[in-house]
Amino acid sequence: MPQTISAQLRVIAQRLAAAGVADPAVDAELLLSHVLGMGRGELQAAAVRGDDLAEADAAALESLVERRAAREPLQHLTGRAAFRHLELAVGPGVFVPRPETETVAQFAIDALLESASPTPIAVDLGTGSGAIALAMATEVPHAHVHAVERSPEAHAWAARNTRGAANLSLVLDDLATAFDELIGSVDVVISNPPYVPDAAVPRDPEVRLHDPAVALYGGPDGLDVVRVISRRARRLLHPGGLLVLEHGELQGEQIRGILTADGWRAAATHQDLTRRDRATTALRA
């Protein structure tokens, strides 16, 4: 007997909720949209009409639902992750971009848009999927964006996502040594570094089991890479240039201390849309 799309959505949402998935109804719609090759709006209209789900589609959906109920990330199942106006390719080996990082990227984008330079220069240290770098390159098309990633697996995803962006260059290198040719000339340096303390293992299986450890853990206090970035960014930026760092909600004060001790000025911590401390900015003296 054929199953309607609306009935399938209800059953899937119940199964995902029982598995502890945070947004089961949304994930149900996104999985079925992926299987059917349609947008969520089209899917919702089909559900209202009472459309049936074909047997082959139901079988493909069942496989994905089983994997999602086992807490494999939704983005790994669909192969896509939304970020600002972008849709990025993601999968095993790369950190899945988060919505809160969209607000962090805005600080860098605003600084580039406000720059007096006709071709402002931005650097993304530890670009992962390329999300921040590509957002800057596409939203500020007169900027020159440089991105570095040290993980070969993540670099491969970033290369796929940034292919064709004429004003963006990507390198496989260590963020502590990359871009010597840009020293003293950069307008904005941004990074979403690993900042989870080594002992603070994330509770969500999607993060704990599937995000690469190199993108999560930042030493005993989570700030080892932040310290490296502070030193490297001071060399890359010209006086008055802006540093933007994403971090955990309890790390703002400590990061401001690190930056101030390194000679940065006007270090300030900013909240995300959930009113949690999420980013710290500072100016190159």
pLDDT in tens, 94-139: 999 999 999 999 999 999 999 999 999 999 999 999 999 999 999 9
Residue 194 lies in a domain: yes
Residue-by-residue pLDDT tens, the chain, 285 positions: 458 999 999 999 999 999 999 999 999 999 999 999 999 999 999 999 999 999 999 999 999 999 999 999 999 999 999 999 999 999 999 999 999 999 999 999 999 999 999 999 999 999 999 999 999 999 999 999 999 999 999 999 999 999 999 999 999 999 999 999 999 999 999 999 999 999 999 999 999 999 999 999 999 999 999 999 999 999 999 999 999 999 999 999 999 999 999 999 999 999 999 999 999 999 999
Same domain? 106 vs 172: yes
Domain boundary among 70, 97, 122: 70
Q: Name the phi and psi angles at 17, rounded to 5.
A: -60, -40
- Which residues are bridge partners to 244 per DSSP? 190, 281
Domain boundary among 70, 104, 128: 70
Extended beta strands in 37-106, E state: 52-53, 80-83, 86-89
Same domain? 28 vs 119: no
Same domain? 218 vs 133: yes
Task: Give 54's contacts (C-beta < 8 A, 6+ positions apart).
Answer: none
Overall domain count for the chain: 2
141 three-state secondary structure: coil
Domain limits for position 210: 84-283
The greatest distance separating any two alpha carbons of the chain, rounded to the nearest whole angstrom, comes to: 71
Residue 75 lies in a domain: no
Residue 186 lies in a domain: yes
Name which of 68, 10, 83 is nearest 34 in CA terms: 68
Same domain? 131 vs 233: yes
103 three-state secondary structure: helix
Same domain? 95 vs 164: yes
Q: What tens digit of pLDDT does each residue of 214-245 get?
A: 999 999 999 999 999 999 999 999 999 999 99
Same domain? 200 vs 250: yes
3-state SS, 211-269, equals CCHHHHECCCCCCHHHHHHHHHHHHHEEEEEEEEEECCCCCHHHHHHHHHHCCCEEEEE
Which CATH number covers residue 128? 3.40.50.150
Can you say whether the dihedral through the CA atoms of 96, 102, 107, 109 is positive or negative? positive
Which CATH number covers residue 35? 1.10.8.10
Same domain? 142 vs 244: yes
pTM: 0.93
Task: Give 114's contacts (C-beta < 8 A, 6+ positions apart).
Answer: none
Domain boundary among 70, 97, 129: 70
**Dihedral, CA of residue 9, residue 15, residue 18 and residue 24, to nearest 10:** -30
